[in-house]
Chain A
């Protein structure tokens, strides 16, 4: 286990002339060269020449004292379901290989405004449908902490790039835990923001009503730095909240005596023993620091997982209807419209995607709608109301994953086993509230994470608690190898 300087420290040191961003870029190149062939975190990488040119421009600006952005000199990896006009955006699907959008996502525009360098586009389960990053048309991503294991998903490429030092910060997306599960499996930090805090303009949709682009990094402070850059109202996204840019980077470590944590029974049991033990150890530790622990119950939690998947599948079936062979690279070769569409979708989509589309059509179809889709939206209301009620007075503690990072292939034989990995994370997506996952311990070289769920727009409090936990664990900035 190594430890790297946190990104916010690097950015500060570049600005103060203590560190050289050019040298840093070469360090990152070196990590990518060393790891990438084994890990497969990236689907595409920016041309090194272009990055060198850009970092030299930044270096020059610093030397002559020009104003530079908050992320100047930092290398950000971007999940490949976030549109970039300068690099292909495939969503991990053959359907979009090779597709380069004619526009940048709002979050990408904001990164560039702060002089970040996009180092590459990271691997993911096809259209973000998966929890292991094995279901990509570009092959699986492996976990740098143990190459036989998965990095979690669907933002596994983003997490893996951070875990081996192949990027300083990363943008993932989180529909049901897609940024948080990988964080738990790679000893990184993932923050799913409040629904509507970060613009979805340019995020290739999977489950629109659930998902958020999510900052990922190797420390809590770094995640806050990235959130502040990408967050805040965007007129191009009608679901974007009318709020200013968040200010979470400057919050300070929580005073334990002022923190109340709700320990929700249903979110605290059911995991492997080592995870459960680690979970209770951190809670007890926090309690000994002065944090108040309060027992709570969330009976509807047992239905959250099927409700979540029903809604996600329904929305996915709709969102993925547009891939019909006309605008995108994968063609069917059919000789009528119907045939062209059916063949393009047969060739372009992987098995899991097809399955989810079919399930989504089922959930929305006449005669089954009430039993599936409508029922799920009712459960969603109960979950949301309960979570909102609870988070008014506390931060909810929850396990991050019921299992340690599984081996490749281990979870693919049964769909329900794959879905069960998200059992703790989907609650925050159903309720729209922010949730942060960070590492609390290592067990046989594998990280174990914990999840904190906050109130709407309560990202600052999650960061504050995260900083406290990070101080207790001492795990900020760790990388594999």
Chain B
């Protein structure tokens, strides 16, 4: 067990982010997360006093709509995929992919 208050948080985050953490990185990563989380939390202190709405889009400008155009079709085989009869093969229950 690593001595880091964020250990269980980190485990949950890694599970949500679907990243397996290697033994070597767990400890230092946890410490970094702890420090970073505390640094970033300083924002919430000031924002509680701010009576403003969130800003998600920097310009107050409407997005465009797209008129019909020609498809920019690509050949899926040009990606690093494993194909079977045109389908992209994904490991499911026991199957494996080869490293490129």
Contact = CB atoms under 8 A, between A and B. Distances in A.
Q: Tell whether A and B belong to one assembly.
A: yes
Nearest to A363: B40
Interface residues of B, number: 60
Contacts, number: 191
A381 interface: yes
Interface string B86-97: 001011111111
B53 A358 contact: no
Interface string B12-38: 011011111110010011001101110
A209 B95 CA distance: 38
A306 B42 contact: yes
Given A376-B43, A378-B55, A381-B53, A333 B16 contact: no
B52 A357 contact: no
A430 B58 CA distance: 8
A341 B18 contact: yes
B22 A372 contact: no
Q: Chain A's interface: helix, strand, loop or mixed, by majority? A: helix
Interface string A345-369: 1100101001101110111010000
Nearest to A341: B18
A241 B79 CA distance: 31
B39 A324 contact: no
Nearest to A299: B46
Nearest to A303: B46
B43 to A, nearest CB: 5
A357 to B, nearest CB: 5
Given A331-B98, A365-B16, A381-B53, A371 B80 contact: no
A37 interface: no
Interface in A289-305: 300, 303
B68 interface: no
B17 A361 contact: yes
Interface string A370-406: 1110111111111010000000000000000000000
Contacts of A381: 50, 52-55
A335 interface: yes
20 contacts: A238-B64, A303-B42, A309-B40, A313-B40, A326-B81, A327-B81, A331-B100, A334-B96, A335-B96, A341-B18, A351-B25, A354-B19, A354-B29, A357-B19, A361-B13, A375-B47, A380-B55, A380-B58, A382-B52, A384-B58
7 A-B pairs with least C-beta separation: A432-B58, A377-B54, A375-B47, A381-B55, A342-B20, A375-B44, A346-B20
